[in-house]
Structure 1
Amino acid sequence: MTIYALKPRFQSLLRPLVRRLAEAGVTANQVTLVAAAGSLLLGGLIAWKIGASPSILLLLPPWLLLRMGLNAVDGMLAREHGQRSRLGALLNEIGDVASDAALCAPFALLPPFGAGGIGAVVLLSALSEFAGVLGPSIGASRRYDGPLGKSDRALFLGALGLLAGLVGGLPGWLWPLPWLLSLLLLLTIVRRARGALAENPT
């Protein structure tokens, strides 16, 4: 059970809004670009301010919730309102990976973490999405399974941002957390690869 399993209920809540956006002429690609640009800007702001003011991380949880909503909206506009496109598929995948990296990387500047652990999380997060998107290339579906998908990572980052923002930093005993997340990401990659192979074993 992961956060991704709650997606259908979340989409049901957003459907009336998505319908109004489609009627107003808003496109899926526009929403995708807004989500990516917002993540890149916020990631840069956090990296700039985090050393002097860890409270900047309080901006992270509400943005991650909004970004989750934007990601759902762009997908629903594409699927339910005839806006699927090859450009949209590329923007969605590239934007997600870039956004994840931008929002996670500033934690390398926050003790007790460092560049090694956070760098591993950023790299493996990208590889986990790569493993998921490779499914169709071997005749399987796009894979979202595994213990640490995109929505689960957002939950972890939001919780860390909230904690660090409220108390002005993170406790030293959390230093192994990036390596634990890296292990879960490795399991996610393996799970997605095995799932794709099992779906189309020929």
Structure 2
Amino acid sequence: MSIYKLKSSFQALLRPLVGRLATMGLTANQVTLVAAIVSVGIGALLLARPEPALFALVPVWMLLRMAFNVIDGMLAREHGQKSALGGYLNEIADVVSDAALYIPFAMVAPLSLPWMAAIVFLATLTEFAGVLGVAHGNGRSYEGPMGKSDRALLFGALGALVAAFGTLPAWTWHIQPMACVLLVWTVVNRVRAGLAEH
């Protein structure tokens, strides 16, 4: 089970807005790039000024970023903007954005840089495993249990905790190895899904 399963409901909610944005001339690639730039900007701000209150930006942006991702996908599919460049931008921007938003948490005890680096690496691997199905002529895999939307919920919740309490409780250290296990499980599930489509 993954939060990704809720995407169709999110799409229905945003469809009228997407239609207006398409009419205004906004492109899917522009939406993708803006989302990546904002993600990197927030990550850079948190690294430069790791003040607890600023971590409130993470849950807010994670929600908005999911909306941006839905909007760029709908512009591409439903408004004739699908392109090879868009496919590259979408995948690369997601990986870069995730890394930028996760790494600042390494500065919040009891989380640590080695674990955050491992999470970034494994998160990248999940996206790589997901997109390999496309390279082999199959559909992209979105299996969980730790897909992009699930990670957004996790880090959004951590950001909210830091902003509310100024720190994280000691037990949150265990989230790091648990996240790594779930990410490895996600990679395995996505590889299995890709192979099953042959």
1: CA distance between counterparts of 2:187 and 2:195? Answer: 12
SS in 2 for 1:134: helix
Query: Pairwise CA RMSD of aligned residues?
Result: 0.7
Report the equivalent of 1:113: 111
Query: Which of these residues, 142, 152, 155, is aligned with residue 153 of structure 2?
Result: 155
Query: Which of these residues, 187, 190, 193, is aligned with residue 191 of structure 2?
Result: 193
Shift of 1:49: 1.3
Report the equivalent of 1:178: 176
2:45 counterpart of 1:45: yes
Question: Match of 2:128, as an amino acid?
Answer: F
**TM-score (normalised: structure 2):** 0.98
Question: Match of 2:145, as an amino acid?
Answer: P
Shift of 1:138: 2.3
2: CA distance between counterparts of 1:64 and 1:136? Answer: 26
Query: Which of these residues, 136, 139, 153, is aligned with residue 137 of structure 2?
Result: 139
2: CA distance between counterparts of 1:49 and 1:172? Answer: 22
Question: Match of 2:166, as an amino acid?
Answer: G
Shift of 1:137: 2.1
Q: What CA deviation, in whole Å up to 9, does each residue of 1:7-58 have, x standing for no partner?
A: 00100000000000000000000000000000000000011111xx211101
1: CA distance between counterparts of 2:16 and 2:197? Answer: 34
Aligned-pair identity (%): 55
Structure 1's unaligned 5+ residue stretches are: none
Aligned length: 198
Q: What CA deviation, in whole Å up to 9, does each residue of 1:55-91 have, x standing for no partner?
A: 1101111111111000000000000000001111000
Q: Where does 1:75-86 land on structure 2 (aligned, <5 Å)?
A: 75-86=73-84
Report the equivalent of 2:29: 29
Shift of 1:139: 2.7
2:163 counterpart of 1:168: no
2: CA distance between counterparts of 1:134 and 1:93? Answer: 11
**TM-score (normalised: structure 1):** 0.96
1: CA distance between counterparts of 2:11 and 2:135? Answer: 27
